Amino acid sequence: MKKIHYREWGIDSPRYWGLLAVLAAIVAIGGFATLFMEHEGHWVTGMTNQIVWGTPHVFAIFLIVAASGALNVASIGSVFGQKMYKPLARLSGLMAITLLVGGLIVLVLDLGQPSRLIVAMTTYNFKSIFAWNIYLYVGFIAIVAVYLFTMMERKANDYSKGVGVLAFVWRLALTTGTGSIFGFLVARQGYDAAIMAPMFIIMSFAYGLALYLLVLMFTFNTDSRPLGDKLIRRLKNLLGVFVAAIFYFTVVYHLTNLYGTENHAYEAFILRDGGVYTWTFWIGWVLLGMIAPMGILFHPALGMQRGAITIAALLVVLGGLSAIYVIVIGGQAFPMSMFPGYTVVESGYYDGVNGMARHYSPSLPEFLLGLGGFALALLVTFIGVRIMQFLPSSLSDDVTDPHHAS
């Protein structure tokens, strides 16, 4: 294996600034949408007293989950000693931070009182998984920053493995915390399941890797850096395996739910009668998010084409957003079972009259805020790779593969 050299992203200036301008514009639009929502109040959103977490949460949770997943590429290199992944580690660490920042910004800006962030940072209830998450998120950013330093500063290289192990363990805790936000909610039928935490971890593997692959291929492609087929094949196969693992967890989650009679109504809602949530589940989460990408990635011919791999990765991202949408919004739309053995005939406040689902229609500002978070994560990533040496100058097979016969 040859020595790896890193170089700033060499895309030509007009395209670089053009790209930044587009992303900055999306961030600005998201910012204006936030100002509008904060000034008017949440009544301008689709959120209500029944559906209290809306589209911003879908984007925020997706980005946070993907952030921990993006770090996996680095972990495979330094924790599990796979040499081929070592040159990929810097970008992996950078994206872990930028995606998390993008997600957190969306989460914070959707608070009813975002100006009270200082209260959230100074007043804690340690029984709340949210309070834990504040530590987990901030700690994650700090640890990954140190991890990046140990990778990029030659004198600190020796510590890289140790910090890498810590970062890996921390990211597992972080995603467990994110999954547990739902896992601990005893009130609602769709949540309160221990499987939520491991399912979120496996989802993070796939979503993070999908975004990583997209950024890697885009940056290498735009400044004509060599990117070897063997490496891409490894990464796409890994993505396929991760998607298959989500498939497995999805099946187990619903099968265990179907086993207990108390969950039958919820399962019928998601799998059969839930309207938009049923469609999003089958078309978004299952078909586009799992079956189609697996079909592409494991296809003998399609799986070799960069274009097809790009589409598969995009589908995994789309499927991920669908999955989180079904979990977050679908889980709230299903009426809480407050009176077992009774049917609610009338209610002064939306208690699921005759089992009817709660209504939610996402509004434009919510969507723009979420999109702004995405754009911010990409914007910071692209600035990062431009000004610092995150990208290897070559990832051709003879560079990455020690056994490559040239």
Please give the residue ranges that form the binding site for other proteins (CB under 8 A).
Answer: 38, 40-43, 47-50, 52-53, 111-114, 116-117, 119-120, 123-125, 127-131, 134, 181, 184-188, 332, 336, 338-339, 341-351, 359
In the complex, the smallest distance separating the C-beta of residue 320 from other proteins, rounded to whole angstroms, is 21
- Which of 61/148 has CB closer to other proteins? 61
Tokens 């940072």 belong to: 121
- Tokens 């589908």 locate to 315
Q: How far is the CB of 373 from other proteins (least distance, A)?
A: 17
With respect to other proteins, which residue has the nearer C-beta, 47 or 313? 47
| In the complex, least distance from residue 111 CB atom to other proteins, rounded to whole angstroms | 5
CB 190 to other proteins: min, Å? 11
In the complex, minimum distance from the CB of residue 274 to other proteins, in angstroms, rounded to a whole number: 19
- The least distance separating other proteins from the CB of residue 348, rounded to whole angstroms, comes to 4
Burial category of 123 from C-beta neighbours within 10 Å (exposed 0-12, middle 13-18, buried 19 and up): exposed
Residue type, 186: V
The sign one gets for the Cα dihedral 182, 324, 106, 165 is positive
- The residue (of 309 and 333) whose beta carbon lies closer to other proteins is 333
Write down the least CB distance from residue 107 to other proteins, Å: 8
Residue 390: its H or E element = none
Q: Which is nearer to other proteins, 139 or 295 (CB)?
A: 139
Phi/psi at 288 (nearest 5 deg)? -75, -30
Nearer to other proteins, 15 or 359 (CB): 359
- Return the C-alpha torsion angle 330, 364, 374, 172, nearest 10: -20
Least distance between other proteins and beta carbon 329 (Å)? 12
Residues 250/251/257/261 CA torsion (nearest 10 deg)? 150
CB of 338 to other proteins, least distance (A): 6
Residue type, 373: G
The tokens for 398 are: 């003879």
DSSP state of 389: -
Task: Answer for the pair 114, 155: CB distance below 8 angstroms, yes or no.
Answer: no
Residue 129 or 313: the one with the smaller Cβ distance to other proteins is 129
Token couple for 232: 């891409």
Q: Please, which residue, 119 or 301, has the CB nearer to other proteins? A: 119
Report DSSP letters for 268-310, one per residue: HIIIII-THHHHIIIIIIIIIIIIHHHHHHT-TTGGG-HHHHH
The backbone torsions φ and ψ at residue 72, rounded to the nearest 5 degrees and listed phi first, read -55, -40
Q: Burial, 295: exposed, middle or buried (Cβ in 10 Å; 0-12, 13-18, 19+)? A: middle
Taking the least distance from each CB to other proteins, the nearer of 14 and 41 is 41
Nearer to other proteins, 49 or 261 (CB): 49
156 Cα distance to chain centroid: 30
Q: Which residues contact 79 (CB under 8 A, 6 or more apart)?
A: 161, 164, 165, 168
Give the single-character DSSP code of 227: B
Q: Which is nearer to other proteins, 345 or 405 (CB)?
A: 345
The nearest distance, CB 136 to other proteins, in angstroms, is 12
